Amino acid sequence: MRYLITGGAGFIGSHLAEALLARGDEVFILDDLSTGSVENIRHLKTHERFHYCFDSIMNRHLLSELVDESDIVFHLAAAVGVRLIVESPVRTLETNVEGTQLVLEAASKKNKLVFMASTSEVYGKSDRVPFHEEADLVLGPTTIGRWSYAASKALDEFLALSYWKEKKLPVIVVRLFNTVGPRQTGRYGMVLPNFVRQALEGAPITVYGTGRQSRCFCDVRDTVAAILRLIGTSQAVGEVVNIGTDREISIEGLAHLVKQRSQSHSPITYIPYEEAYEAGFEDMLRRVPLLDKLERLTGFRPATPLDEIIDRVIAHFQKRTDAGAALAAGGIVAAAAPE
């Protein structure tokens, strides 16, 4: 099978590409590297069944060509991360809504299955935990920028499901809950890589708000496994499905666990949301998925323990640090050699 992954140089996209190649598939990726990175796919670039294009999803001609080349489209390209969303609301809306429209339009011409990644953010301020796929969405006011991401992804879902209902384009929509693992960057506010980096550097581990807000963290390997099972399940077409774990931990508890697992002496500090993001910033106390639908459709339920996930992220950061140190040492030796 041949697959297109938009946003394929991103954190989840690169892991999905690895899994597809490992099972013998051919993979095309399209990424403008705005939030993705060449480093995520450097180890794949020489693979004979891996093809990459560093360009915008807004390039209609290229997008159409890549869709035509593929049997299934994974649409992962999106503006991601709380910090990016707050700082660049225009980019968030344009990338998410227009990009999704173009993907669905191109896929509809050839009736290609589209797997679309949405987010737990669409549940907004709902307090009906655990979150059920058929539950109401409760968003904040349009004057608060952080809700632009949730609104844009909700519109993406409406678009995808409308293409299914009106044009019979097969689509599967998933709402991802805090997927984490190696290669995730903290550059745009992702909490686990930021905590790990701070702990390993001996810097203060910065918790935003009170730290009592809780989340459920899912290993990227489990997320990819769930995705691959869903695309092989005809009953998932036209459905919205949660992917994540239902084991909660407070952000304060996560900070302490990262500190323990990394054997760090970093202090844990607290920063008000107004200082971290913007005045009036709102966060949700809990965000827990109901996983019954995923399990019913696929027989799969993510189960990697959080300790193991954190250890994998720590090992990844340490490996990068060691590689950087070795490269720097090699540069010094090379510079000194002519003398």
Confidence (pTM): 0.92
Reported as a pLDDT band with limits 50, 70 and 90, residue 188 is low
CATH of the domain at 296: 3.40.50.720
Q: Cα 316–35–158 angle (5° rounding)?
A: 115
d(Cα 55, Cα 136) in Å, to the nearest integer? Answer: 36
Annotated catalytic residue within 123, 149, 163, 277: 149
Contact of 244 with 176, CB cutoff 8 Å: yes
Instruction: Tell whether the model's pLDDT for residue 162 goes beyond 80.
Output: yes
Burial of residue 119 (number of CB atoms within 10 Å: 0-12, 13-18, 19+) = buried
Respond yes or no: is residue 270 known to be catalytic: no
pLDDT of residue 230: 98
Sequence-distant (≥ 6) Cβ neighbours of residue 58 within 8 angstroms:
98, 99, 102
Residue 54 in any domain: the answer is: yes
Instruction: Tell whether the model's pLDDT for residue 250 goes beyond 50.
Output: yes
Residue 280 in any domain: the answer is: no
Contact of 146 with 281, CB cutoff 8 Å: yes
287-331 pLDDT, tens digit per residue, is: 999 999 999 999 999 999 999 999 999 999 999 877 766 666 665
Residue 329 in any domain: the answer is: no
Residue 193 in any domain: the answer is: no
Containing structural domain, residue 149 = 2-180+218-245+286-303
Give the H/E segment covering residue 115: strand 113-119
The arrangement of strands across the sheet holding 171-176 comes to 50-54, 26-31, 2-6, 72-75, 113-119, 171-176, 240-243
Residue 15 in any domain: the answer is: yes
What is the number of structural domains in the chain?
Answer: 1
Residue 63 in any domain: the answer is: yes
Residue 323 in any domain: the answer is: no
Residue 135 in any domain: the answer is: yes
- Residue the block writes with tokens 């550059």: 187
28-82 pLDDT, tens digit per residue, is: 999 999 889 999 999 999 999 999 999 999 999 999 999 999 999 999 998 665 6
